[in-house]
Structure 1
Amino acid sequence: MQTSDTVSSCSAILAPLRVSDSKTLKWDEQCDVLVIGWGAAGACAALEARASGADVLVADRFTGGGASAKSGGVVYAGGGTRQQQAAGVTDSPQAMFDYLKHETSGVVSDTTLRRFCDQSVANLEWLQGHGAPYGHQMPPGGKTSYPADGYFLYYSGNELVPSHTDTLPPAPRGHRTVGKGQGGAVLYGHLQAACLKAGVRPLLQAAARRLVLDGQGRVIGAELWRLPPGSEAAKTHARLAARAERWQNLAPGYCDTLRQRVSKLEREHAQPYRVHARQGVVLSTGGFIFNRELMREHAPGYRRNFKVGATGCDGSGLRLGQSAGAASGGLERVSAWRFINPPHCWPKGIVVNRDGKRFCNEEVYGATLGQPLMEEQGGRAWLVLDARLRAKAIRQALFGGYWWFQTVPALALMLIKPRKGKTPAQLAQAAGMQVEALKQALQRNNAAARGEAEDDFGKSSGSRQVLDQGPFYACDISVGNPVFPLGALTLGGLKVDEDSGAVLDAQGQAIAGLYAAGRTALGIPSHLYISGLSLADCVFSGRRAGAAIAGQTHSQVGAGVPREEPQTIKGEI
């Protein structure tokens, strides 16, 4: 249980409040549907429930946005979107399904994955109907981690990697929301405005602490701790929280201190505020990358990674669900992002482990590279370049028109203390590698680049290059390199009914009145992330939960099975 002197920035979660009947409790607010967490998933759930005629209240610990507003605003969509057609791209739901079946590895059923693909065009149109703009301009040069301004449709995953392609031609499915800078804020701004226009009622600076259950075990509301609106505490809270999000990329330690101050304000000034949700509650608070205890328990190897997300990604939705007896899955799954493109020529180098052995195809998507780097290589690896390739990469970083967050780390990696050797043997000695291992890795790479052999990891011919011009360089792409951060976000969450988003208990039965969406729930990206898949799943799972909860009658949501109150709540700190 969180105490007043704790330094954690996470919300405390309490055991559920159980009442025999909703009329026996004094409520501060009434609604049909309560959505907890106002990011993209929460906004989509709220809009869908509101469109069904429900009175919707959306609560957020801060002022909305969460990780969605800090994202690149990329929505993974295919099957023949307007943008794909305008760009002359041929795609189909079947081609999208075939590709994603490889990437998702059965984390959801084929039926659910096929429904996600079949609804993809309609979901993007739905976003556009709420004001979010999308374009068809594609960046030159093929693969990139994030396209420059002016380009809005791109290959955001492994579609161009031979080992990930199927019989159908690859298609770009990364739809970046049109706007200056990263598009997440633009996308969320439109969703937030659409919620307000539709009559969704916001309850801000109100952190959910516990669920309220009736005598049958049905979730009928929640107790939130709300800062007094307009108070000095609320103003300071908003200012510090915004500063923490703004400077996270440049000063994460300082931002952790800000988050502790934010939590302290909540503990000292927030007051309980009980909301009765007649049709139930949707949990959509994001993942748990900022929860040190949960990370230590489920994914200890990723605690050194740079945190990708927002302060609200503290597992509060997960812990709320668990407090009511919910089952969870995939909590050990973390997406680690080691992008080595751009510069566009970097994948022509080779990535080796601490011994000098190559272990991956360098042209794969950043999370596909980051997974074996973290899971199999202990977070340590080198990007090996020769003099010719390094010079080309520096020129591309300086004059390639990339984003500053792509250019600055790339230049720092190549210019600040790389290991160097006139020969492969000298480089191996300088980097602490095994001499013969590195020499063999380079020899086999060069043979494949000359067409004398197949590449050991299936690298396409266009990404192969002979590396034989000394001096040779080893750039440290390990998790501990401060000049080249290796970001991570959590992928697991509450188990849900894939037809409705209803949260499931350990026996696989739906917990009446409780739903989950986005990264609070297991979903499409919960095996391995590719750019745009999480936001696309926020739309898919958010709309699913919103429609299901609003479509129920009072008699339908009244059924439930009594559950024993859990003795402990995992991750409560």
Structure 2
Amino acid sequence: MPLERDEQADRDVDVVVVGFGGAGACAALEAARSGASVLAVDRFTGGGATAMSGGIVYAGGGTSVQKAAGVVDTVDDMVAYLRQETGDVVSEETLREFCATSAEMVEWLADAGVPFDPSVCPFKTSYPPNDYYLYYSGSENAWPYRSAATPAPRGHRTHGRGTSGRAFFAALASAARAAVRVLPQTTATSLLVEDGRVVGVECRTLRSRWHTVLHRYATRPGLYFPGFARVLHRRIAALETARGRTVRIRARRGVVLSAGGFVHNREMLRAHAPEFRGGLPLGTQGDDGSGIRLGESVGGVADRMSSVSAWRFLTPPSALLRGVLVDESGSRFVDESSYGAAIGSKLVLERGGKAWLLVDETILRAARRQIRRETLWFQRLSAHYLLRVALVRGPSVEEVARRSGVDPAGLAATVAAYGRGEDAFGKAAELVAPLTGPYALIDCSYGPRLGYPCPVLTLGGLRVDEKTGQVLDVPGLYAAGRTAVGLCSNSYVSGLSLADCVFSGRRAGRHAAANL
């Protein structure tokens, strides 16, 4: 079938961006501002996992938002903290560049229309309620992180009610659409290569209202019901097969892959990270690994594919941080004030997915009082589930241990040591106090529970040149966001993936545009 007139006009552009989520929108906008003609293609209508996210950008070193809030932060402190999170996944030079340009990144986003707010959240939480937009989004206050760097709140939540990823992407997409052409309902199926260089993409495109409607429901409520989302996705794929037509688009300067991760590809997840099956996939059906596979098809190499983030948050309510998290033997294994992904990683990889939080009646009462003021609706559901459904209560430590399947002697020894102030994990002193009966053990184990889901997302991707974002050994091809190995590919804290989408997307777009 021949191309429509507007598609025919876009067959030759300077830069083609595959995937119009957070990283893709940043790549497209940066490439356009660098003087390139840009076409972005997206399998659906854009947004990807970014639009579903909390809209958190991890930034520091003295951003305008931090300064307005009276927060003191330095680039050195930000580097010192993130070095412990990133490990060797990026070089010291790249890590420092990210931190040193962090304040400028916030201004770039603000210039694109992304709204921020300097109201600091006064309590530890997985995600702040609508009154607060700057918070400690990682493990900055947990041991040993706080010993290496002065903690500072660096989670910049986009201003907007509820999970504000929609507000973040709406502003960014509006700025990008003013400068680039976006072709929705268009799936990149292969890369065009000439003389060892990527020179374009072959796509399947269609125009279908039902395609959009099915995707909308597969995303939400499909996010919370993965089986339902898979059923709708099969219908989406059938529509694409029946009504799609082939489009070839040449890229004079480069192609940027920014098509997300692979959390919705069950075969890839089973092959690379089987321990994390059973979590709640955090992403859209477009996070199927297609961008990574496109890169591999022309010689790109994937790395960190077993790196998956599983979020087992204990907060809100913040009072629960005073509890003791134990495994089946009754032993503690983490500072309870650590970020949820740090807890989730140890839980899944080291403790067989089994864990319980021991609290007493004083903590329970405080936690219940905090629910209304510390939670949004989705957190409120989980908080009520934990405090009213997923717990076993009893007058003694041994009794709740027996009823929960935890070793009674091991738990009793842990509680006694904790009461004496013996804390091998260095939890902040104000969160440590002897527990007194009656007691409750809250089941925090990993698994597919609707009342207390454990979201997971993949962090691995294509290996890229850290200076340019070019896929290693593949001229003309770049990658960004969760299609590439990046700052958060070792461990995740809230906002670091989105910040890396901005950082790596801008880098890829800028260098693709300059590639003559």
Q: Which residue in the other structure is 1:85 paired with?
A: 67
Q: CA deviation at 1:473?
A: 2.9
Q: Which residue in the other structure is 1:174 paired with?
A: 155
Q: CA deviation at 1:440?
A: 0.8
Determine if the alignment matches structure 1 residue 342 to structure 2 residue 316.
yes
Query: Structure 1: how far apart are the matches of 2:149 and 2:202?
Result: 51
Note if contact 1:382-1:478 (Cα within 8 Å) is conserved in structure 2: no
| Counterpart among 76, 90, 104 of residue 86 in structure 2 | 104
Q: CA deviation at 1:126?
A: 0.5
Query: Structure 2: how far apart are the matches of 1:32 and 1:472?
Result: 62
| Counterpart among 533, 540, 543 of residue 506 in structure 2 | 543
- Farther off after superposition, 468-477 or 263-272: 468-477
How do 1:14-413 residues align onto structure 2 when only pairs under 5 Å count? 29-141=11-123, 143-166=124-147, 168-198=149-179, 200-214=180-194, 216-227=195-206, 229=207, 234-397=208-371, 399-413=372-386
Note if contact 2:36-2:513 (Cα within 8 Å) is conserved in structure 1: yes
Q: CA deviation at 1:417?
A: 4.8
Query: Structure 2: how far apart are the matches of 1:471 and 1:126?
Result: 50
Q: CA deviation at 1:294?
A: 0.3
TM-score (normalised: structure 2): 0.96
Note if contact 1:28-1:273 (Cα within 8 Å) is conserved in structure 2: no
Q: Which residue in the other structure is 1:556 paired with?
A: none
Query: Structure 2: how far apart are the matches of 1:169 and 1:357?
Result: 30
Query: Structure 2: how far apart are the matches of 1:192 and 1:27?
Result: 22
- Farther off after superposition, 288-297 or 429-438: 429-438
Q: Which residue in the other structure is 1:562 paired with?
A: none
Note if contact 1:337-1:487 (Cα within 8 Å) is conserved in structure 2: yes
| Secondary structure of the corresponding residue to residue 162 of structure 1 | coil
Note if contact 2:303-2:461 (Cα within 8 Å) is conserved in structure 1: yes
Coordinate RMSD, CA, aligned? 1.5
Note if contact 1:380-1:479 (Cα within 8 Å) is conserved in structure 2: no
| Secondary structure of the corresponding residue to residue 476 of structure 2 | strand
Note if contact 2:223-2:283 (Cα within 8 Å) is conserved in structure 1: no
Note if contact 2:330-2:408 (Cα within 8 Å) is conserved in structure 1: yes
Q: CA deviation at 1:36?
A: 0.0
Q: Which residue type is aligned with residue 489 of structure 1?
A: L
Note if contact 1:414-1:475 (Cα within 8 Å) is conserved in structure 2: no
- Farther off after superposition, 321-330 or 258-267: 258-267
How big is each residue's C-alpha offset from its partner over 1:473-525, in whole Å with a ceiling of 9 and x where there is no partner? 33343324332111110001000000000001xxxxx3110000001000000
Query: Structure 2: how far apart are the matches of 1:28 and 1:79?
Result: 41
How big is each residue's C-alpha offset from its partner over 1:90-112, in whole Å with a ceiling of 9 and x where there is no partner? 11111111111111112100000
Note if contact 1:279-1:550 (Cα within 8 Å) is conserved in structure 2: yes
Q: CA deviation at 1:400?
A: 2.6
5+ residue gaps, structure 2: 1-7
How big is each residue's C-alpha offset from its partner over 1:138-171, in whole Å with a ceiling of 9 and x where there is no partner? 1222x11111113111111111123102454211
Query: Structure 1: how far apart are the matches of 2:153 and 2:299?
Result: 41
Query: Structure 1: how far apart are the matches of 2:201 and 2:446?
Result: 43
Query: Structure 2: how far apart are the matches of 1:154 and 1:310?
Result: 26
Q: CA deviation at 1:266?
A: 1.0
Query: Structure 2: how far apart are the matches of 1:335 and 1:412?
Result: 23
Query: Structure 1: how far apart are the matches of 2:94 and 2:336?
Result: 31
Q: CA deviation at 1:381?
A: 1.0
Note if contact 1:418-1:476 (Cα within 8 Å) is conserved in structure 2: no
Q: Which residue in the other structure is 2:402 paired with?
A: 429
Note if contact 1:75-1:535 (Cα within 8 Å) is conserved in structure 2: yes
Q: Which residue in the other structure is 1:525 paired with?
A: 488
Q: Which residue type is aligned with residue 95 of structure 1?
A: D
Determine if the alignment matches structure 1 residue 475 to structure 2 residue 457.
no
Query: Structure 2: how far apart are the matches of 1:471 and 1:366?
Result: 23
Q: Which residue type is aligned with residue 131 of structure 2?
A: G
| Counterpart among 450, 456, 459 of residue 488 in structure 1 | 456
Flag the 1:167–1:428 CA change in 2: closer, same or farther, 3 A: closer
TM-score (normalised: structure 1): 0.87
Q: Which residue in the other structure is 1:18 paired with?
A: none
How big is each residue's C-alpha offset from its partner over 1:396-422, in whole Å with a ceiling of 9 and x where there is no partner? 22x334111111111112211522332
| Secondary structure of the corresponding residue to residue 272 of structure 1 | strand
Query: Structure 2: how far apart are the matches of 1:396 and 1:376?
Result: 31
Query: Structure 2: how far apart are the matches of 1:197 and 1:389?
Result: 52
| Secondary structure of the corresponding residue to residue 502 of structure 1 | coil
| Secondary structure of the corresponding residue to residue 291 of structure 2 | helix
Corresponding pairs, count: 509
Note if contact 1:99-1:166 (Cα within 8 Å) is conserved in structure 2: no
Q: Which residue in the other structure is 2:4 paired with?
A: none
| Secondary structure of the corresponding residue to residue 503 of structure 1 | coil
Query: Structure 2: how far apart are the matches of 1:383 and 1:417?
Result: 10
Note if contact 2:487-2:497 (Cα within 8 Å) is conserved in structure 1: yes
Note if contact 2:78-2:149 (Cα within 8 Å) is conserved in structure 1: no
Q: CA deviation at 1:325?
A: 1.0
Q: Which residue type is aligned with residue 500 of structure 2?
A: D
| Secondary structure of the corresponding residue to residue 165 of structure 1 | helix
Q: Which residue type is aligned with residue 208 of structure 1?
A: A
Note if contact 1:477-1:484 (Cα within 8 Å) is conserved in structure 2: no
Q: Which residue in the other structure is 1:458 paired with?
A: 426
Query: Structure 2: how far apart are the matches of 1:197 and 1:113?
Result: 31
Note if contact 1:28-1:274 (Cα within 8 Å) is conserved in structure 2: no
| Secondary structure of the corresponding residue to residue 139 of structure 1 | coil
Query: Structure 2: how far apart are the matches of 1:32 and 1:400?
Result: 50
| Secondary structure of the corresponding residue to residue 507 of structure 2 | helix
Q: Which residue type is aligned with residue 496 of structure 1?
A: V
Query: Structure 2: how far apart are the matches of 1:348 and 1:111?
Result: 38
Flag the 1:192–1:480 CA change in 2: closer, same or farther, 3 A: closer
Q: Which residue type is aligned with residue 489 of structure 2?
A: S
Note if contact 2:56-2:156 (Cα within 8 Å) is conserved in structure 1: yes
Query: Structure 2: how far apart are the matches of 1:476 and 1:86?
Result: 38
Note if contact 1:153-1:175 (Cα within 8 Å) is conserved in structure 2: yes
